[in-house]
């Protein structure tokens, strides 16, 4: 395909070299935002940011990253994969240098936004380098490995962050990323991708469509990122942002719908198969938010920091690698539905294991459930992407741009929508549970009075005034009640995730049954026609 490298036959040693470079480039593109998300509390403290201000840092990255494939795909087609690779790496290094020069919050937001756009080509480059390590007959397995690698960097970021922070302040994270980018540039210049086909692909209206859709996606991303923090109904700007995004999407849709060579195939997007794919991809990303938001959020609520979560994320990383390996080894047209359904089953089991958490829950308590969810995360992505690619290619190679945008939107927006929806649900349930718990805290109750006295004794050495000591005891009891309310609310999130996954499983099984029946009906007439032809010949 234009914009992609060719796939010549390589020696085994060269294939191994391509794989190593692919892992390095993938790490360079994937660790940036993961390091920010994993260490956001420390960065907020260092810059003196409020929770609302801190949320903008990872949000700015996603706001620009989600629409980048809309224009970068044609850049590869127009200028070639080698020039694309080197220019992308130089741009990424320039952005990383800006990281090291940050002195203000506004500059940090700008750098995160530019980094989101610059990281997209890095992910694609890592993908292409990994594919070069596999022969043509095993490109499907290479696809599973390349896509699985793109997911492992979040747990890796959690694993290496404490050691990096021990070397200095949060700027050490950017220094490490800068070193990775330099190593990637050296590796890509030394070991170049094979040349591919170049075509003149840009049209003037492509830039107009991008100018309309990029801010629209950014506005939606901003609302999803800030909705839970600033609360949905309290900030009028969210309504105006969604209205503006809808208007931009409508104008872009009308332009693309009536173009002779549209950038986005609007008619294909409206087909039943494409809509079902988008729903499935979005739902899977939503379900996997149980791991990134709910499990981690519960442990953070219970006081677990990065040091206590090391083994937790090591198990998660092992699960991702195991799921990726199983997906690659068993990959095939007949096994793809089984892999997808198996991933949903693992999500259901993991969510049900987690929904009885207590205040005594620790990372070791959730190892089994998170291992299952990590395996599911590594298992589903390959079959999902290949299914969408085959549907797009069946309509023509020019549909790949539309599919790339659709897949990126479902994964990026789904990654924001999951924490936004589940976080909103958790806050609502937490307030309800907190009201129920505090309503039953009668100071005249002997049990409550004894607990207040015990809480007050914590401050006996520092506070001699019994009234003030009693007040401090009441405060500690209120904190305990709030913590218990959060734990119950997170249990409800786990249960909700299991319910949504069960509904999605039933829908997936129904679609598999419909597809299998349609395939049999298509095969039977063909077999009957062949038999009739044989009889006539005899």
Averaged over successive runs of 10 residues, the pLDDT of the chain (538 residues) comes to 75 87 85 78 75 81 78 75 73 73 73 77 81 79 78 83 74 78 85 77 80 86 83 86 90 84 76 80 82 82 78 86 83 76 87 83 84 84 73 69 76 80 86 77 62 58 57 63 83 89 87 75 57 42
Q: What are phi and psi of 355, to 5 degrees?
A: -80, 15
Q: How far is CA 468 from CA 446, 463, 472, 477, in A?
A: 20, 7, 6, 14
At residue 103, the pLDDT reads: 65
At residue 184, the pLDDT reads: 84
Q: Do the first three CATH levels of 1-202 and 263-434+492-516 match, i.e. the same topology?
A: yes
Cα–Cα dist 465/408, whole Å: 60
Q: Are 206 and 17 in contact (CB under 8 A)?
A: no
Pick from 19, 66, 514, 94: nearest CA to 276 = 514
What are the tokens at 369?
């459930």
Cα–Cα dist 339/89, whole Å: 35
Q: Are 264 and 209 in contact (CB under 8 A)?
A: yes
Q: How far is CA 82 from CA 188, 195, 240, 360, in A?
A: 9, 7, 42, 54
Provide the residue ranges of all domains of the chain, joining segments of one domain with +. Answer: 1-202, 204-262, 263-434+492-516
Does 263-434+492-516 carry CATH code 3.40.1110.10? no
At residue 532, the pLDDT reads: 45
Pick from 100, 95, 124: nearest CA to 111 = 95
Q: Are 123 and 29 in contact (CB under 8 A)?
A: yes
How big, in percent rounded to 5, are the helix, strand and coil portions of the chain?
80, 0, 20
At residue 448, the pLDDT reads: 60
Q: Architecture of domain 1-202 in CATH?
A: Up-down Bundle (1.20)
Residue whose structure tokens are 């609360």: 231
What are the tokens at 181?
């980018």
Cα–Cα dist 329/342, whole Å: 15
At residue 244, the pLDDT reads: 92
The secondary element (H helix, E strand) that includes residue 456 is helix 446-457
At residue 456, the pLDDT reads: 56
Burial of 435 (0-12, 13-18, 19+ CB in 10 A): exposed
Helices 153-166, 171-190: inter-axial angle, 10-degree rounding: 120
At residue 99, the pLDDT reads: 67
Residue whose structure tokens are 């005249």: 444
Q: Are 24 and 184 in contact (CB under 8 A)?
A: yes
């Amino acid at each position: 395909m234009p914009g992609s490298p060719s796939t010549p036959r390589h020696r085994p040693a060269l294939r191994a070299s391509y794989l190593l470079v692919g892992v390095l480039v993938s790490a360079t593109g994937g660790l940036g935002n993961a390091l920010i998300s994993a260490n956001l509390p420390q960065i907020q403290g260092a810059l003196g940011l409020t929770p609302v201000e801190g949320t903008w840092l990872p949000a700015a990255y996603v706001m620009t990253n989600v629409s980048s494939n809309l224009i970068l795909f044609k850049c590869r087609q127009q200028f070639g994969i080698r020039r694309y690779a080197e220019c992308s790496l130089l741009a990424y290094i320039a952005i990383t240098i800006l990281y090291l020069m940050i002195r203000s919050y506004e500059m940090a937001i700008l750098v995160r936004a530019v980094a989101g756009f610059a990281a997209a080509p890095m992910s694609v480059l890592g993908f292409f380098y990994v594919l070069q390590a596999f022969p043509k007959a095993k490109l499907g397995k290479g696809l599973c490995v390349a896509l699985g690698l793109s997911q492992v960097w979040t747990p890796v970021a959690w694993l290496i962050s404490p050691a990096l922070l021990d070397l200095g302040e949060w700027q050490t994270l950017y220094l490490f990323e800068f070193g990775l980018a330099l190593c990637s540039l050296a590796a890509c210049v030394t070991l170049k991708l094979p040349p591919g086909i170049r075509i003149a692909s840009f049209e003037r209206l492509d830039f107009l469509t991008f100018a309309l859709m990029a801010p629209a996606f950014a506005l939606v991303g901003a609302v999803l990122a800030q909705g839970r923090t600033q609360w949905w109904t309290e900030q009028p700007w969210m309504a105006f942002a969604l209205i503006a995004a809808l208007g931009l999407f409508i104008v872009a849709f009308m332009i693309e719908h009536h173009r002779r060579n549209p950038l986005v195939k609007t008619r294909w997007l409206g087909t039943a198969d494409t809509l079902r794919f988008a729903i499935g991809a979005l739902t899977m990303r939503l379900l996997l938010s149980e791991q990134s938001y709910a499990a981690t959020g519960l442990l953070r609520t219970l006081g677990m920091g990065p040091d206590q979560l090391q083994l937790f994320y090591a198990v998660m990383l092992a699960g991702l690698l195991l799921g990726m390996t199983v997906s690659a080894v068993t990959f095939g047209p007949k096994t793809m539905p089984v892999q997808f359904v198996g991933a949903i089953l693992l999500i259901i089991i993991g969510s049900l294991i987690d929904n009885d958490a207590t205040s005594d829950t620790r990372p070791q308590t959730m190892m089994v459930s998170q291992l299952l969810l990590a395996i599911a995360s590594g298992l589903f992505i390959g079959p999902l992407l290949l299914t969408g690619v085959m549907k797009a290619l069946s309509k023509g190679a020019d549909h790949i741009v539309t599919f790339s945008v659709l897949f990126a939107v479902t994964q990026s927006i789904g990654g924001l929508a999951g924490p936004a929806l589940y976080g909103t649900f958790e806050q609502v349930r937490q307030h309800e549970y907190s009201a129920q718990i505090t309503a039953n805290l009668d100071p005249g109750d002997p049990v409550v009075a004894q607990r207040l006295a015990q809480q007050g004794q914590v401050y006996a050495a520092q506070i001699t005034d019994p009234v003030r000591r009693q007040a401090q005891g009441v405060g500690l009891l209120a904190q305990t009640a709030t913590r218990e309310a959060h734990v119950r609310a997170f249990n409800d999130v786990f249960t909700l995730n299991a319910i949504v996954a069960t509904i999605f499983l039933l829908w997936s099984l129904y679609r598999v049954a419909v597809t299998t029946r349609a395939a049999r009906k298509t095969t039977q007439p063909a077999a009957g026609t062949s038999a009739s032809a044989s009889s006539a010949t005899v």
